[in-house]
Amino acid sequence: MARTVNAAFDEFMSETVNLDSKKTTKARNSRDELLKQIKSFSSDPTFPKLQNINPIHFGSFNRRTKIRPLDDIDLMVALSAQGAPHSQNGGIIKITIDNDSNLGPYCHDRTNQLSSIKIVNKFVKKLSKIHQYQQAQIKRNQEAATLKLKSYEWNFDIVPFFTTRPYKNGRDYYLIPNGKGHWKITDPRIDKTRVERINQLHNGYVLQVIRAIKYWNKHARMPTINSYLLENMILNYYEKQKYLANQYVDVEIIKVLEFIQQGVYQEVNDPKSIQGNLNTLDIEEKSKISKKAREDRILAVTARQYEYYKKDYESSIKKWGEIFGNEFPSFS
């Protein structure tokens, strides 16, 4: 319960939208323990050789754009390709293994092409033998080995990867499982760097807006925009702005909802230049999202007018509650 709009948003963001700081700390500690266990796999000569680099943390948890609940944490574990070359055809990467490599047992049957499914399954097998994880749910889920501990509300998605040599464009990439037995390229470093750059450009106020709009997207009565797509739409908006973001998230929400009205119809190119257009929503979905963004922007503008011109904080808070639902604090 709150007496002002600013207090209402502070409470809403800290108690409903943003991840709980204590749970975040606990999650990072459990992640570090998991990584310690994975590093111990190097003592097994049959396990794929680990690269002597730190694991890559990726996903919205690492980019600090994740909202409640904290249900999954992504991490990538680097493996040594032992000099194996790869080829690409139609977006599918095939890795060819040398006879001297210990990766031979992980090839597709009767071939020397590395099977991503067998690699992920090896992670699943090794994790299941660790005493503290014996009561956990461990399985392969597309490109990841998923570990769900009963003691935590989140699960870990562990993605093995290889680092390529630099391509002709000077960039190196990560090869991760494609969920169908072979590999695909990615580079989460670009996503992380981009979020940090744009957020810093706007004095650190963009992350709160991304989280607030993600909450709106999740709870609004409309088709849900893919979280990664929505994040990039918002980043595109702020990357092109001449004026810096306002410290008050409610002011920025109005701007972003107005942008979404038209922005949802536009192409959203993958910042990694790998996937192409991220916006695969069909025209009916786009229309419904645009309509909802327009309706809620009108409510937000009305809420802002109540607050700014009439000093009627109660009516303003009620309007914001119409947008964000019952979890938004009430006036008191």
Amino acid, res. 146: T
- Indicate if 157 and 202 belong to the same structural domain: no
Does 241 reside within a domain?
Answer: yes
Q: Distance between alpha carbon 107 and the CA centroid of its chain, in Å?
A: 30
Name the domain boundary from 168, 186, 204.
Answer: 186
User: Tens digit of pLDDT for each residue in 277-321?
Assistant: 999 999 999 999 999 999 999 999 999 999 999 999 999 999 999
Does 146 reside within a domain?
Answer: yes
- Indicate if 114 and 197 belong to the same structural domain: no
What CATH number does residue 39 fall under? 3.30.460.90
- Indicate if 50 and 75 belong to the same structural domain: yes
- Indicate if 179 and 264 belong to the same structural domain: no
User: Tens digit of pLDDT for each residue in 198-244?
Assistant: 999 999 999 999 999 999 999 999 999 999 999 999 999 999 999 99
Using a pLDDT cut of 90, give the percent of the chain over it. Answer: 95
Is the pLDDT at 53 greater than 80, yes or no? Answer: no
- Indicate if 70 and 171 belong to the same structural domain: yes
- For the chain, the residue count is 332
Residue 176 near residue 77, CB atoms below 8 Å: no
Does 8 reside within a domain?
Answer: no
- Report the chain's mean pLDDT, rounded to a whole number: 97
Name the domain boundary from 152, 186, 220.
Answer: 186
Is the pLDDT at 54 greater than 90, yes or no? Answer: no
Helices (H), 98-205: 116-128, 188-201
- Indicate if 218 and 157 belong to the same structural domain: no
* DSSP code, position 223: P
Does 332 reside within a domain?
Answer: no
The Cα–Cα gap between 137 and 146 comes to 8
Q: Which domain holds residue 88?
A: 20-186
For the chain, how are helix, strand and coil distributed in percent, rounded to 5? 45, 15, 35
Q: Distance between alpha carbon 98 and the CA centroid of its chain, in Å?
A: 35
- How many structural domains are present in the chain? 2
- Indicate if 149 and 214 belong to the same structural domain: no
- Indicate if 103 and 211 belong to the same structural domain: no
Tokens of 33: 């323990």
Does 13 reside within a domain?
Answer: no
The Cα–Cα gap between 155 and 71 comes to 6
Nearest one of 76, 77, 71 to 27, comparing CA atoms: 71
Residue 38 near residue 49, CB atoms below 8 Å: no
Does 329 reside within a domain?
Answer: no
- Indicate if 59 and 77 belong to the same structural domain: yes
Tally Cβ neighbours within 10 Å of residue 279: 18
- Indicate if 211 and 164 belong to the same structural domain: no
Using a pLDDT cut of 70, give the percent of the chain over it. Answer: 100
Tokens of 14: 């800290």
User: Tens digit of pLDDT for each residue in 61-99?
Assistant: 999 999 999 999 999 999 999 999 999 998 899 999 998
Residue 73 near residue 55, CB atoms below 8 Å: no
- Indicate if 115 and 247 belong to the same structural domain: no
User: Tens digit of pLDDT for each residue in 100-132?
Assistant: 899 999 999 999 999 999 999 999 999 999 999
What is the b/e burial string over 62-90, where b = at least 16 CB atoms within 10 angstroms of the residue's CB? bbbbbbbebebbbbbbbbbbeebebeeee
Name the domain boundary from 186, 201, 226.
Answer: 186
Tokens of 175: 């090869």
Angle at 214 between CA 204 and CA 221, to 5 degrees: 150
- Indicate if 207 and 135 belong to the same structural domain: no
Does 132 reside within a domain?
Answer: yes
